[in-house]
């Protein structure tokens, strides 16, 4: 049975007290914590590596460590992130130039012991994901250009979410449908109506007084 999941993105957290930030999130109803990894090649910015995942893992409680690799060669990082504690690893369709390499990365992640997701950038058509659905645990639709937080939500992502929801339902497989970028109380309502069931939110949650209140507000959309 589907449920709504909020995945706070630590990219917007206060890294001077990151352990306390993560522990605070672990006491909310969040079931995922989202870890944005950037290499300065696939996207312009760099963030953190597996050493940070290992550092915060003891503070995550039962939350799934949802690791989003925005990197040029994700297969090279898989073992290190899984060893550090990543439970689910999502890589980008655009990281590779052919489907055989994409399938190889999917199977590499599974063999290493994690669940696997695939993401697309805003200018990539969702149809490219269809050949991989049977192999995936999660599909991630980017509703901003990957690479930095705080961007405005792109409304053309709603059609992509609806397309993926329809095809996931027709396949009859349990695949999380995640959306990342510009998510707040207003845009969360739109993406839930379109069919998303995992909401990545960074600046909307972190930096505000009551994480619990903002996260619960998004979760309440499921019953609305």
CA angle 79, 98, 179 (to 5 degrees): 65
153 DSSP assignment: P
Residues 53 and 83: beta-carbon distance below 8 Å: no
Phi-psi map region of 112: left, alpha, beta (phi>0 left; psi -120 to 50 alpha): alpha
Can 36 be counted among the known catalytic residues? yes
User: Is 99 noted as a catalytic residue in this protein?
Assistant: no
166 to 5, 132, 194: CA distances (angstroms):
19, 15, 10
The secondary element (H helix, E strand) that includes residue 100 is: helix 99-112
Q: Look at strands 88-92 and 5-8 and give their pairing.
A: unpaired
Instruction: Give strand pairing partners of 35.
Output: 67
Q: Is 68 exposed, middle or buried (0-12, 13-18, 19+ CB in 10 A)?
A: buried
Cα 17 to the chain's mean position, in Å? 22
Catalytic residue among 66, 87, 180, 197: 180
**Whole-angstrom Cα distance, residue 191 to residue 161?**
7
What amino acid positions are annotated as catalytic residues? Answer: 36, 180
């Amino acid at each position: 049975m589907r449920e709504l999941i909020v995945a706070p993105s630590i990219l917007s957290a206060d890294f001077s007290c990151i352990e306390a930030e993560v522990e605070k999130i672990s006491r909310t109803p969040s079931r995922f914590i989202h870890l944005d990894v950037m290499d300065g090649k696939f996207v312009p910015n760099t963030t953190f590596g597996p050493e940070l995942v290992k550092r915060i893992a003891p503070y995550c409680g039962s939350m799934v460590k949802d690791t989003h690799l925005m990197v040029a060669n994700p297969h090279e990082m898989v073992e290190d992130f899984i060893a550090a504690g990543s439970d689910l690893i999502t890589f980008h369709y655009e990281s590779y130039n052919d489907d055989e390499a994409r399938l190889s990365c999917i199977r590499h992640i599974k063999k290493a012991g994690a669940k696997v997701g695939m993401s697309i950038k805003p200018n990539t058509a969702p149809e490219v994901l269809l050949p991989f659905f049977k192999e995936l645990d999660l599909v991630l639709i980017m509703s901003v250009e990957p690479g930095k937080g705080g961007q405005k939500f792109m409304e053309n992502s709603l059609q992509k979410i609806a397309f993926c929801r329809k095809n996931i339902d027709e396949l009859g497989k349990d695949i999380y449908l995640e959306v990342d970028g510009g998510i707040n109380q207003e845009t969360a309502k739109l993406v839930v109506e379109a069919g998303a069931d995992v909401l990545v939110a960074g600046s909307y949650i972190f930096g505000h007084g009551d994480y619990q209140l903002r996260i619960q507000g998004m979760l309440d959309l499921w019953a609305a």
